[in-house]
Structure 1
Amino acid sequence: MTSSTAVSLTRRAEARLERLGDHDQLWFEGRWHRAEELAARARRTAGGFARLGVRPGDRVVLFMANCPEVMIVSAALWRAGAVVTPAMFLLSDDELRHVLRDSGAVAVVTTPEFADTVTGVADDLPVIVVGGGDGRTLPLEELESAAELGIVPRGPEDLAVLLYTGGTTGRSKGVALSHGGLDASGAALAAAAQPDVVVGLLCLPMAHVYGLLMSVAGYHMPEIRRSVVMRWFDPAGFLALVEQHRVQQTAFVPSMFQRLLEQPLEQHDLSSLLLVSSGGAPLPREVALEFERRVPSAEVREGYGCTETSSLISAQPAGARRLGSVGKPVAGAEVEVVDEAGRPVPPGAHGEIRVRGPVLMQGYWRSPEATAEAVRDGWFHTGDVGTFDEDGYLYVVDRIKDVIIRNGFNVYPRDVEDALVAHPEISAAAVVGRPDPRVGEEVVAYVTVVPGATLQPADVVQHARRHVSAAKYPREVHVVDAIPLTAVAKIDRKALRARPRS
């Protein structure tokens, strides 16, 4: 990298277009969008933002479902030197208001289905609402009618994205990600990609760091790769698109596997599907194996990362997957597993996972205390319990804050959850701790069952007793219609802990 502008995301996107030329790049709801078409729209939209008064460093919130305009607006904002601030469209009004206020956003861009929500939330805030097409907001087409804007120079240290964490344990924090950090993470993901995959399907929200990284990684791909984009994930629509476009690769969070396994997969030709990446939360081994059994052409590869590391820490090496592991650390992420004193532990021992390197965030937005707590001596402490094996493969055991201490024994919820979903009638499971005066914390399980199952709580307890130790099995079980999830599709343990006992 010879200059500070060489790794700005805008420069990286321009270099990709120069290298690969014009081509079908993105399919969305009935048609292909060409690479030059998308780039030209971004150049004009950047001019529209500048004309609107958006300046370098300004934050602009994107509250949009997946569509080509998400990519166009993001590229336009980076071209104008502004900061993309994605917000999941599943956020509540209060959560969206917090993002707008905390980020100091000057504008918010939305799509018609969310225009009422955004205008209602932004009514008392000094932000311009773009999109919606209902006469109350500035049309996105008006921005796109401006003259093309040249690139506002940005260096690797400049802020590119302000992305708010899920906030399951309190108010969400803005994670400041630089051009250089995202660029390093995208390059690492591209390096780990399977070379014979040329058609991918993006069904993760682009407002999630995982979905965002998939887009940035495309800047580094050496060959033309085409992307099929879903507005949002639905299992039946996913299966139809795989068949229609002969999709070879996609990326899921674990809850998506569960929903797909409820579909008649054998009735569809999914033989083109070679690789399914999983991230965002631990994937039970049984779920991965069941998916591979029913889609024999596909290999499931689990990776690991978090918002604070530009989404990526480790990935499975091509051709050397180790099921149950999240792979090996990628370039740009130095990883250690350490004890409470900060000393690295030997292979096989458990400890906290910590990371440093160019993929690391700049810090939490306007929160030096939280940053200092999370980043110590240059290392970001993930809060995850993990272990390395003798060959350098990383395993994520659980979240430190989720560990249940029962009678002095550490109980990792994931261990119990994996044992529960091994039951053929249990489709999903979540385990939390409940304060108990006798044992300190009691293990409580919530499970959903497959259609037609008659499983009772006592049956679940007996199954667990056969598969985990006496210290771990749940004494209290609830069969529920659905496991609550956060906006980024992780188990909402905070909501489960708040549930009254029945």
Structure 2
Amino acid sequence: MDEQQHRPSVYDGGTVGDMIVTLLDRFPDKTAFIDGARRFTYAETRDAISRTVQHLRALGLRKGDTVVQLSGNRPEVFFVTAALYLLGLRSVTLQAMGGIEDHAYILEHCDARMMLADGAYAERTLALRGRVPGVAHWYLHEAAGDLPGFWAEAARHTPAPLPSEATPDDIIRLAYTGGTTGRPKGVMLPGRATMTQTLLLMAGRAWSDAPRFLCPTPISHGAGATLIPVLWRGGTVILQKGFDPDRFLDAMEEHGATATFLVPTMVYKLLDHPRTRRTDFSGLETLMYGAAPMSPARIKEALGVFGPVLQQGYGQSEAPSAILTLSRLDHTDRDERILSSAGKPYPGITVRLLDERDEEVPQGEIGEICVRGPLAMAGYLKQPELTAEVLRNGWLHTGDMAYRDARGFFFIVDRKKDMVVSGGFNVFPKEVEDVLTAHPAVSAAAVIGVPDPRWGEAVKAIVVCRPGMAVSAAELAALVKERKGAVAAPKTVDFVESLPLTVLGKPDKKALRAPYWEGQARAVG
């Protein structure tokens, strides 16, 4: 953009940087982060961000440059991200479980100027340094071998007042998609989108004052958007590296956690863990879940175990975290059918269901979820044609198919690319999965389409049973046939110990389909 486009207007909104500066001064002596034995007050957090800002400047990084992080959960991830948002640099966070090919591609694609990694990823960092020589600065959090330690160098700077230099139009985050349909795409999120996301999560989620937020999910991705709402209210973020039911329950009790964010697979593990039902959850106020659909049967079970504290969020990288929400109150609705809904739009976001001509479909009919509002991305980095397609006619097209009922609740039936076309009929895997997981012996299920000479695609179910329980393939097929009809009934059922997951904790449909579709092209997706 030219200078004319950057010229400030009295109508410009604030930025996340402005929020960060303000919140850090409100509660200087309170604990902002707990990371094992480490504690950081708000004042110490502010000072660490200040040193980061100064060191980034000393390295010659300027507005528009890109900094990449590869790390598990630790407060420093927030310190660096906050500094980037303040300066108008671009933040990229690599998925820790991602492969080296995707990591190298992203570093090159985003024109990274600096990479900072956990010591656990020192070997990966060295390998990437050899493959992507254009990156100017390579760091670990703590020095190891010939990789310098970022914080040892940053400690040379004296804390100073924090700047807030980014504008609402500056791209401050590049959120790379998981690459399940090809190379990862760099979603460009300007300051206005990140600010909108933060405000919507503050307004649309249930928060008390001084929440104690237990966070085993990666703050480098979806859970990271929750940190500013927690800190704004004077809360404490309790970080865990990875999810283990026993460690999670220990931390719940030790820290008196009042809020948490989990993906459905984590909730399932908790529900199947024998210790969970002996744990007192009376202090838990909000259990937020998202990133993938959750079985209505397991939601109902979770309400019985945790209480009326569940809240669901639906979004995607292109409109992060805050498109639809199913509130705590919605979860206790007398109509239990609501438990299969993704909820209603967050305030200030326009959501419509559109057909192939981008015309709104009638109530009750299936259309693509399309979004309009300041939450939407600016586009895909270096992919103008794909950007134009996804943002055509003034709407962000999500690729998710849904219908809306008379009360305004949205019900997602599936991703376009996951739909199974069997004998000319559309089968939406989520609807079949919801039936399967309603069986008392089933812990989790994934449904895919596999090649079939008669039907084109046949419905296959991959099922995980609960510990000590079993069910036959014939019984599950009959259950689906009764509830959804013969076309939706799985022709085959595989029983497995666990489902493969993407790096974000979603069932990996691409990996499940791959053995069956190698060398063939699917009609859908």
1:457-468 aligned within 5 A: 457-468=473-484
Q: Which of 416, 441, 445 is 2:461 aligned to?
A: 445
Over 3 Å counting, the alpha-carbon distance change for 1:148 and 1:196 in structure 2 is closer
Q: Which of 167, 171, 174 is 1:162 aligned to?
A: 174
What is aligned with 1:204? 217
Q: Which of 288, 294, 302 is 1:291 aligned to?
A: 302
Q: Which of 151, 159, 165 is 1:153 aligned to?
A: 165
Q: Deviations over 1:384-423 (max 9, x none)?
A: 1112222222221111111111122211000111111112
Q: C-alpha separation between the residues in 2 aligned to 1:24 and 1:183? A: 24
Over 3 Å counting, the alpha-carbon distance change for 1:122 and 1:457 in structure 2 is farther
Q: C-alpha separation between the residues in 2 aligned to 1:110 and 1:389? A: 46
CA deviation after TM superposition for structure 1 residue 306, in Å: 0.5
What is aligned with 2:20? 13
Q: Which of 144, 150, 175 is 2:187 aligned to?
A: 175
Q: How much is the aligned-residue C-alpha RMSD, in angstroms?
A: 2.0
What is aligned with 2:313? 303
Return 324-333 or 409-418, whichever deviates more. Answer: 324-333
CA deviation after TM superposition for structure 1 residue 500, in Å: 4.5
Does residue 52 (structure 1) correspond to residue 59 (structure 2)? The answer is yes
Does residue 255 (structure 1) correspond to residue 268 (structure 2)? The answer is no
1:358-373 aligned within 5 A: 358-373=374-389
Q: C-alpha separation between the residues in 2 aligned to 1:287 and 1:95? A: 34
1:74-93 aligned within 5 A: 74-93=81-100
1:267-282 aligned within 5 A: 267-282=278-293
Indicate conservation of the 8 Å contact 1:431/1:444, yes or no. Answer: yes
Indicate the SS of the match to 2:143: coil
Over 3 Å counting, the alpha-carbon distance change for 1:379 and 1:276 in structure 2 is same
Q: C-alpha separation between the residues in 1 aligned to 2:123 and 2:80? A: 20
1:427-438 aligned within 5 A: 427-438=443-454
Q: C-alpha separation between the residues in 2 aligned to 1:233 and 1:144? A: 32
Q: Deviations over 1:136-171 (max 9, x none)?
A: 212022123224465262110101111100111111
TM-score normalized with structure 1 length: 0.94
Q: Which amino acid aligns with 1:398?
A: D
What is aligned with 1:193? 205
What is aligned with 1:118? 125
CA deviation after TM superposition for structure 1 residue 486, in Å: 0.9
Q: C-alpha separation between the residues in 1 aligned to 2:42 and 2:11? A: 25
Indicate conservation of the 8 Å contact 2:87/2:166, yes or no. Answer: no
Q: Which of 377, 380, 392 is 2:393 aligned to?
A: 377
What is aligned with 1:130? 139
Q: Which of 332, 337, 352 is 2:353 aligned to?
A: 337
Q: C-alpha separation between the residues in 2 aligned to 1:287 and 1:25? A: 33
Q: Which amino acid aligns with 1:87?
A: L
Over 3 Å counting, the alpha-carbon distance change for 1:144 and 1:160 in structure 2 is farther
Q: Which of 233, 239, 262 is 1:229 aligned to?
A: 239
Return 323-332 or 407-416, whichever deviates more. Answer: 323-332
Does residue 214 (structure 1) correspond to residue 213 (structure 2)? The answer is no
CA deviation after TM superposition for structure 1 residue 242, in Å: 0.9
- Unaligned 5+ segments in structure 2 are 1-7, 332-337, 518-525
What is aligned with 1:32? 39
Indicate conservation of the 8 Å contact 2:445/2:463, yes or no. Answer: yes
Does residue 484 (structure 1) correspond to residue 484 (structure 2)? The answer is no
Indicate conservation of the 8 Å contact 1:278/1:303, yes or no. Answer: yes
Q: C-alpha separation between the residues in 1 aligned to 2:442 and 2:329? A: 31
Q: C-alpha separation between the residues in 1 aligned to 2:358 and 2:198? A: 29
CA deviation after TM superposition for structure 1 residue 373, in Å: 1.3
What is aligned with 1:350? 366
Indicate conservation of the 8 Å contact 1:59/1:106, yes or no. Answer: yes
Does residue 144 (structure 1) correspond to residue 155 (structure 2)? The answer is yes
1:58-73 aligned within 5 A: 58-73=65-80
CA deviation after TM superposition for structure 1 residue 448, in Å: 1.3
CA deviation after TM superposition for structure 1 residue 212, in Å: 2.3
Over 3 Å counting, the alpha-carbon distance change for 1:358 and 1:5 in structure 2 is closer
Q: C-alpha separation between the residues in 2 aligned to 1:17 and 1:117? A: 34
Q: C-alpha separation between the residues in 2 aligned to 1:135 and 1:77? A: 27
Q: Deviations over 1:221-258 (max 9, x none)?
A: 4x322221112222211111111122121111111111
Indicate conservation of the 8 Å contact 1:49/1:80, yes or no. Answer: no
Q: C-alpha separation between the residues in 2 aligned to 1:216 and 1:334? A: 24
Indicate the SS of the match to 2:91: strand
Identical pairs, percent: 32
Does residue 239 (structure 1) correspond to residue 249 (structure 2)? The answer is yes
CA deviation after TM superposition for structure 1 residue 468, in Å: 2.6
Indicate conservation of the 8 Å contact 1:43/1:148, yes or no. Answer: yes
Q: C-alpha separation between the residues in 2 aligned to 1:452 and 1:23? A: 46
Indicate the SS of the match to 1:452: coil
TM-score normalized with structure 2 length: 0.90
Q: C-alpha separation between the residues in 2 aligned to 1:329 and 1:466? A: 33
Over 3 Å counting, the alpha-carbon distance change for 1:13 and 1:6 in structure 2 is farther
Q: Deviations over 1:338-394 (max 9, x none)?
A: 122211122222111100110000100111011111111220111111122222222
What is aligned with 1:401? 417
CA deviation after TM superposition for structure 1 residue 318, in Å: 5.5
Q: C-alpha separation between the residues in 2 aligned to 1:281 and 1:200? A: 21
CA deviation after TM superposition for structure 1 residue 121, in Å: 1.9
Indicate conservation of the 8 Å contact 2:227/2:237, yes or no. Answer: no
Indicate conservation of the 8 Å contact 2:21/2:164, yes or no. Answer: no
Indicate the SS of the match to 2:265: helix
Return 63-72 or 428-437, whichever deviates more. Answer: 428-437
